[in-house]
């Protein structure tokens, strides 16, 4: 059976490879999904988060000891700007809560909430 519901969100997280042991990626996704679902009124099973370690990034003047985590949170259009702002704040708080102290790095954590321009989905049920 095919399910053609068009839902979202699509979440992509890029993080400095040096944070791999300090960043609880699974914990971040599992905490963000239900909180964001409640905020934006989306079904929990529709949340998808992908993680990409960045082997090389230049931050600022390129000094050692810098690291970054960026969350791109793409949602279907039509949500109020205040809800998007609250979603960004929520994601940033949850993100920072899942970076363990002691990395010895200056970590820049950022979140972008954006509308999905075009999105197609099909769920292939067993």
Which distant-in-sequence residues (6+ apart) come within 8 Å of 121 by Cβ? 4, 5, 6, 7
pTM: 0.89
Give the helix, strand, coil percentages of the chain, each rounded to 5. 30, 30, 35
Please say whether the structural domain 2-124 has been given the CATH code 3.40.50.150.
Answer: no
**Does the bond joining 9 to the residue before it have cis omega, within 30 degrees of 0?**
yes
The tokens of 44 are what?
């929990």
Burial 74-89 (b: 16+ CB within 10 A, else e): bbbeebeeeebebbbe
Q: Tens-digit pLDDT profile for the chain (126 aa)?
A: 333 344 579 999 999 999 999 999 999 999 999 999 999 999 999 999 999 999 999 999 999 999 999 999 999 888 999 999 999 999 999 999 999 998 999 999 999 999 988 777 777 788
């Amino acid at each position: 059976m095919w399910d053609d519901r068009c839902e979202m969100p699509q979440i992509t997280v890029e993080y400095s490879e040096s944070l791999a042991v300090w960043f609880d990626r699974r914990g971040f996704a599992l905490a963000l999904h239900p909180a964001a679902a409640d905020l934006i009124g989306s079904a929990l099973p529709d949340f998808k988060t992908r993680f990409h370690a960045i082997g090389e990034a230049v931050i600022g003047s390129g000094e050692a000891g810098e690291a970054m985590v960026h969350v791109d949170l793409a949602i279907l259009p039509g949500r109020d700007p205040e809800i998007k702002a609250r979603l960004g704040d929520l994601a940033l708080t949850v993100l920072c809560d899942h970076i363990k102290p002691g990395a010895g790095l200056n970590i820049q954590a950022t979140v972008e909430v954006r509308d999905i321009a075009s999105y197609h989905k099909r769920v292939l049920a067993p």
